[in-house]
Amino acid sequence: MPPELPYSRSPATPLVHFSSTPVSPDAKLKLSFGYKYCLGIKKMNFTKKKIIPYLVFILSAISILRLLRILVTTYSSSHPLPALPPVEQTCSSPSPICSKPPLHSSESSTHRFKPNATSLTEKEFKLLSNLITQRVPCNLLIFGLESQYLILSSINAGGTTIFLEDDPEKLNTIKSNTNTSRIYRVEHQIPAKEAYKLLRHGRKNPACLPTSLKLQESKCRLALKNLPQQVYDLDWDVVVVDGPRGNAPEAPGRMAAIYTAGVIARKGNVTDVVVHDVDRMIEKWFSWEFLCDENLVSSKGRLWNFRIKGGSSNSTRFCPAKAYIIE
């Protein structure tokens, strides 16, 4: 039987001193926190402290990049890049005279322009310039005044060119009065909104028939009676209708200009009448009525070219009646 040993404390048993003093809740929380801290929470908190500055830096960089993108977009929209000049430009508007000498061959149709709402496109100008080139020297009458048309005047060397314009601003800007080229101011009183009434008037009133070719004495409301005397005296080879502007109901319309061109064309031998802006209803209506679709020989874009033979002063109508066969 083994000997009895006196009671002794195991060396692995920690010393614990119990106190009879009660422990407060704050003290218990401190003890719990200290215990967890000893278990490794300290290491985790240290790692988070290192990550936070990196996160702040990344978020700040993203915010700065977004701000720069907004600033660049705003600046680009409010400051557009300037438009590049055209590759070729023979005449610089509003310069009245071209810097290059006039051309009298097919090369004259190679002039390039920056198109806008009123000017001819490159193809339209080529058709018109080729027409003038084929008939040089000729009598050229133009309703309207654009800087492009000054080139036509230079092409028509040795001929007579007359411009009829009602816009004071254009008359003050463009000057081209020479021995063979003149610009006259005319008044167009009838607004475009009266087009339908005038069309009915031109169809029903005997004073508007081709038999009444004395425009200065005509009682037809479509006749232009206050033009320069030279307009009535000459036989015109080419008549261009590109004025007045007729781009609004209250603006002067081209009804009378197209009618007058149709009357003038029937006075000569063979006259080419060219009408611009035929995509508009008034120009299309009155061209069909007084220039006639069977006389249409060429077109390009918004430009129609009618070739009218003279000697029709005894006709009772502008366009021959068509017989329609119903099958």
Q: How far apart are CA 95 and CA 313, in angstroms?
A: 41
Tell me the pLDDT band of 152, cut-offs 50, 70 and 90: very high
Which pLDDT value is given to residue 49? 66
Q: Which residue has the tokens 């004395």?
A: 214
pLDDT at residue 303 is higher than 50: yes
Number of H helices, E strands in the chain: 9, 7
| Residue pair 109/120 in contact by the 8 Å Cβ criterion | no
Q: What is the pLDDT of residues 252-282, one digit of tens each?
A: 999 999 999 999 998 878 999 999 999 999 9
Sheet containing 303-309, strands listed edge to edge, beginning at the edge strand earlier in sequence: 181-185, 160-165, 139-143, 238-241, 270-276, 303-309, 296-300
Q: What is the pLDDT of residues 96-147, one digit of tens each?
A: 333 333 333 333 333 344 444 568 999 999 999 999 999 999 999 999 998 8
CB atoms within 10 A of CB 292: 16
Q: How far apart are CA 273 and CA 128, in angstroms?
A: 11
- Please tell me the pTM assigned to this model: 0.64
Phi, psi angle pair for 179, to nearest 5°: -65, -30
In sequence order, what are the beta bridge partners of 191?
A: 252
Which pLDDT value is given to residue 57? 81
pLDDT at residue 235 is higher than 80: yes
Which pLDDT value is given to residue 112? 42
Task: Give the three-class secondary structure for 7.
Answer: coil
